[in-house]
Amino acid sequence: MSFALTCFHVLMLIILIPRAQFCSAIHDGFWPVKYVLMLGIFIAAWFIKPQFFVVWGNICRGFSIVYLFVQAYFIMNLSYLWNDYLMAAIAMGEQCYAKFLLLAVSILASCGSLVWLVFCFKWFWGCGTSNFFLIETCILLLWFYVAALLRLCNVTLRENYTIFVCSMATVYLVYQLWSSLASLPNSTCNDLALNKGNTALQIIIGALFSFITVISIAIASQTSSESSAQKTTTAGASVVAEQVDDEARPIDEEAAIFPVTVPTLIFQAIMVLSSFYYGMLFTNWGNVLNDGVAEKTWTSS
């Protein structure tokens, strides 16, 4: 499926590069054809020799590392966008629900991350590698919270960096810590190395973060013009910002066909990266062998 998705999105990216009117029509339409094409590639992939997917697994590893940087970037962007939205609601007098969400999410995310971190110490403390990453993460998290709380002393490192954004980032960092340490193939350092429930949970949570990433990219594109109007800056809106000019107006508003913009191409490129990542996500970064079996490797950590 990873191979099929990658082929499909690479093909779409190539078709969209000319940015002609027919590219827009293909991008915004022909959905039955796309579904049939996707299904056809997936079925054809079953007739490819397993040795090919040994190479494919290694290719996926490399591109998946790049994808993780993109994922972190846009999850931070989503945190900033949500923070800006709630702060704007407070400025407009809608203080009740906005302050409640800011406070509730910050407390729940921070406390949940702390509990998760404590369990990570319980599960993985004892080996040099695990100890290093546990201590390093604690130092980073401490600095993030100090940087957010410096606002109380009239020291602002970033205008919209608040305890809310910090707590959201903390959840992602603790998840990455747990995911890496829980994937260590050394059973001496990792009591969960052979735990099937642990592996399943990593896949489920990883898929959830991937879904959030795609949603974040879409939201960044949609709200970029609003952010510009409010003079606010987010981490990712400028990357996928749709330009509000004649180029971005619909070609056929009734048919919902819009021109292919640079952000559209960037989005397709990110979808290619995410397709590589799915191959690693659902095998837990496994080492794909000639018989098609996946096993844990140090790459996942």
The structural domain count of the chain equals 1
Q: The whole model's pTM is what?
A: 0.77
pLDDT tens track for 269-284:
988 998 999 888 887 7
SS3 215: helix
pLDDT given at position 225? 41
Using CA atoms of 52, 55, 61, 62 in order, give the dihedral in degrees to the nearest 10. Answer: -120
The confidence score (pLDDT) of residue 182 equals 82
Q: Hey, how many other C-beta atoms are within 10 angstroms of the C-beta on 110?
A: 19
DSSP 127: B
Query: In whole angstroms, what is the distance from residue 227 CA to residue 295 CA?
Result: 45
The residue ranges of the chain whose pLDDT is under 70 are: 186-187, 193-194, 220-257, 286-301
What does residue 77 show for φ and ψ, rounded to 5 degrees?
-60, -40
| Residues ≥6 apart with Cβ < 8 Å to 291 | 50
Which domain covers residue 169, as residue numbers?
2-300
Q: Measure Cα distances from 184 to 59, 190, 219 in Å.
A: 21, 6, 35
Rounded distance between C-alpha atoms, residue 126 and residue 105, angstroms:
33
Q: What is the pLDDT of residues 44-65, one digit of tens each?
A: 999 998 889 888 888 998 899 8
